Structure 1
Amino acid sequence: MRITAIASELVVYIPAIMMYTKWMGRYYNNALSIDQTIIAAAILFQPSLIIIDHGHFQYNSVMLGFTLMSVVYLLHDYYAMASIFFVLSIGFKQMALYYSPVIFFYLLSVSVWPLSTNFNILRLITIGVATISTFIFLFAPFIYAGGIEQIYQILFRVFPFGRGLFEDKVANFWCATNIVIKYRELFTTDQLKKLSLLLTLIGMAPSCIAIFFKPKKNLLAWCLIATSMSFYLFSFQVHEKSILLPLMPITLLLNEVNADVISMVCWISNMALFSMWPLIKRDGLWLQYAVLAVMSNWLMGNLSWIRKFVSLVGIKIVSPRDFATTVLPHNIFWTSVIITTYIAAGALHYIDLFIAPPANLPDLWVIGNVVLSFGCFLLFFLWVNYKIFAMTTTTTPKVKKN
């Protein structure tokens, strides 16, 4: 069965990554073919997705691949195909709904906005027919086998409100703040559903508004990050693995070929992997966790500081390189945040591995992981929204016609 996870990744996810980086290199960042390949390799070597799909054993790459294929077709202005692939993504795994607001508002914008000059009723009908037809194709076997009642059962499984606000400790708003505010004691389940929906809508509103009024292709990845991160941080019943949803568009930002953006991607990718440590530890994947963390950072050049360090202390294991620099932003605030959170994460790992928690607080180290990871995700979420605002208020970069 594990071979099928590898095969599905080869068939769906990897081609989607290659197609996306090829489009970005050809029409946006003017990257050479070799650079496109390097960027694609860096995106594919996402340690969190690798360890979940091939260690914890799931098929998230299929869902992510279908979504990315949808984005690729949006870049090529093939809107019906984009709709079909996104419906396939939702049909494969309902967590793709994290991306649905951006896809919906982008398709709506290119069809009706502005109403005076760009209203395209044929395009809107084509998108609607493609979407509805694909849903019918997916649901038809269930209806045939079990009747219309199967639709209600599917919807019940898609929205697991019966499980409560959260089960395991996850690095989102509810788990992190539940330390001081006992939500499940103060509110009913219905009230918590409405409250989580409200916060999620507030969190995603800026990116949805931006992509509707400014449907720029270079905004797609940024807005997908903002909406999926809003779902992760504020929605009802989130799992540790749900961070894979924001991580996919986050790694797509490597196509920006901007040192500061790459440093932020490296940081949040590391913290995302760290946030899943309690799950990975339960699965006994600590060795794979350590190897993937080191190798992915080495690939991104995030370990270049080692050469400078060993040269300073006089160790001759490796030859120093004067131009080697740590992958950190130029902004002193973000550099301080990244270094501080890395130190805190390392300290928490040491404590978790060698010091037992107090008997009356058995989850203390897990709570530390949740709070630290949530703080990083919240800061990154605010940074992404700031970047979206900046990009929508500046002149649109010239993108070559495909």
Structure 2
Amino acid sequence: MECVELVAYQRTTVILSELVLGAVLLRFIRGAVDPPTQRIISASLFLHPGFLIVDHIHFQYNGFMFGILLWSILMARNGNKLASGILFAVLLNFKHIYMYLAPAYFIYLLRSYCFSPSGKLEIKNFLSLANSVIAVFILSFGPFILMGQIPQILSRLFPFTRGLNHAYWAPNAWALVTAADRVLLKYITRTGANVVINSSGVVSTSRGLVGDTVFAVLPNIKPAHTFAITVVFQSVALVKLWFSPTYKSFLTALTLCGYASYLFGWHVHEKAILLVLVPLSLLAAERHAYFRTFILASVAGVFSLFPLIFTPGESMVKVIYSVLWIIFVYVPLTRRVYEYPKSLSFVIIDTLEKIYLAGFPLLQLVVTLLPIYASRRAEATAPICVQSDDFTCPEPDPQSVAAPSSAMEFLPLMLTSVYCAIGLAWAFCRLMYVYLNEQTYQGPLNRI
């Protein structure tokens, strides 16, 4: 039974802890090159639907921890790189998922703080940073080392036995691969194509259960594969960061590192999309290319969190609030950064992106109506028995009655995951292209 006092304590502490986030966002405004625009971005972060859905309703402390992350980023913007590194080390010990961002911090702090512009190693800075980070980790892990619990901690931090996908597929590259496997399975089953099918993979990937993901047609993905692919994509961004260790380059590489880990990581949770959307928000007003990427990723990312809230009353809140939030962000920022497409290819891309965004209301309608349709279908196909004095109706078989409904139970989640994954994958490619090809443009962040 739910304890009202405990829930009240949890909700209250979550909301109060977000004062850290609010205080940091106010400091971002004070030192901004363009305070009015930064005010919009700060407000959008503080009021982000992801925090409402994940923190205030689906209990977490993400607002507090993202406050520490933004505090660390703020220190980097202000040139206090030692403080930036210490804050990130503290954050990493609060929640290990921020390890996704660690490569960008390592390269940026090593290159810009531990090396001089000429490439000479600054021994004093290197030792200060290394000793500070080591001290944070010793304070955090020291008691567990003394109690001999490090193996248990490592097994919890790196859950390689939990399967490639989370129960509800996070909308990343593996959701698309898993969906492709299901489509191929259906095609082979109906056409009778001479293809070997892994029988254990027929039911493993689309039941919404936590466990090992086994494909029926495609080759299985192992943790080593996801790690290698993630490192490759992160390295592309990190190479440029090494040669151009500016604040803007750091912020973009930081976003791309989190993005690559989200798209290609092992057993990624849907809530990890906030690791992409929060730093990406700070780039939203840099210019139109970043702004459009931010809109695509934000709409797809926020929508992908909707299944976490599924009761009718809360569903109305999440939809209305998210729509109001995107309007609040889109209208003022588009006036500042909008650029009309300058070539036919850009016009085509712009049109396709708008069509994709316009598909979300239809998707919401479909995932709302599908459970209703499935329920009515189950009732319509249930056997009808007329009871009389000489005959008593047998108890219905729960599995046979629920079969039509359960067959479609995971379909709304799968549709949401796949559709959002398409937008998030495209936004990643978009951001990577803009970052790697941006050589001469000097935006507001580069002038800090």
Kindly report which structure 2 residues correspond to 1:12-51, keeping only aligned pairs within 5 A, or say none: 12-23=20-31, 25=32, 30-32=33-35, 34-51=36-53
After TM superposition, give the deviation of residue 115 of structure 1 in Å: 8.4
After TM superposition, give the deviation of residue 261 of structure 1 in Å: 3.0
Is 1:287 aligned to 2:316, yes or no? yes
1:67-106 deviations in Å (ceiling 9; x for gaps): 2211222222322211211011111111111110100110
Cα 1:347–1:217 change in 2 (3 A) is same
Matching residue of 2:178: 178
Letter matched to residue 83 of structure 1: G
- What is the RMSD of the two structures over their aligned residues, measured on CA atoms? 3.1
Matching residue of 1:274: 303
> Residue 258 of structure 2 aligns to a residue in which SS?
helix
Q: 2:131 aligns with which of 126, 129, 136?
A: 129
Letter matched to residue 111 of structure 2: S
User: 5+ residue gaps in structure 2?
Assistant: 1-9, 182-200, 202-212, 375-403
Letter matched to residue 2 of structure 1: R
After TM superposition, give the deviation of residue 190 of structure 1 in Å: 10
Q: What is the TM-score normalised by the length of structure 2?
A: 0.75
> Residue 215 of structure 1 aligns to a residue in which SS?
coil
After TM superposition, give the deviation of residue 131 of structure 1 in Å: 0.3
Distance across 2 between alignment mates of 1:164 and 1:278 = 20
Native 8 Å contact 1:302 1:327 kept in 2: no
Matching residue of 2:160: 161
Q: 1:236 aligns with which of 266, 277, 300?
A: 266
Q: What is the TM-score normalised by the length of structure 1?
A: 0.83
Number of aligned residue pairs: give it: 371
Is 1:4 aligned to 2:5, yes or no? no
Letter matched to residue 180 of structure 1: A
**Relative to structure 2, which stretch is displaced further, 125-134 or 49-58?**
49-58
Kindly report which structure 2 residues correspond to 1:320-331, keeping only aligned pairs within 5 A, or say none: 330=341, 331=346
Kindly report which structure 2 residues correspond to 1:221-260, keeping only aligned pairs within 5 A, or say none: 221-256=251-286, 258-260=287-289
**Relative to structure 2, which stretch is displaced further, 126-135 or 168-177?**
168-177
Q: 2:73 aligns with which of 56, 71, 74?
A: 71
**Relative to structure 2, which stretch is displaced further, 324-333 or 340-349?**
324-333
User: 5+ residue gaps in structure 1?
Assistant: 305-322
Cα 1:102–1:347 change in 2 (3 A) is same
Matching residue of 2:392: none
Distance across 1 between alignment mates of 2:144 and 2:285 = 40
Matching residue of 1:349: 364
After TM superposition, give the deviation of residue 248 of structure 1 in Å: 0.7
Matching residue of 1:203: 233
Matching residue of 2:326: 297
Native 8 Å contact 1:105 1:208 kept in 2: yes
Letter matched to residue 271 of structure 2: K
Is 1:340 aligned to 2:342, yes or no? no
Identity between Structure 1 and Structure 2 (%): 25
Distance across 2 between alignment mates of 1:4 and 1:72 = 24
Letter matched to residue 93 of structure 2: G
Cα 1:16–1:230 change in 2 (3 A) is same
After TM superposition, give the deviation of residue 394 of structure 1 in Å: 2.5
Cα 1:128–1:301 change in 2 (3 A) is closer
1:325-380 deviations in Å (ceiling 9; x for gaps): 99797442343233222232222211121233564343222222111111111111
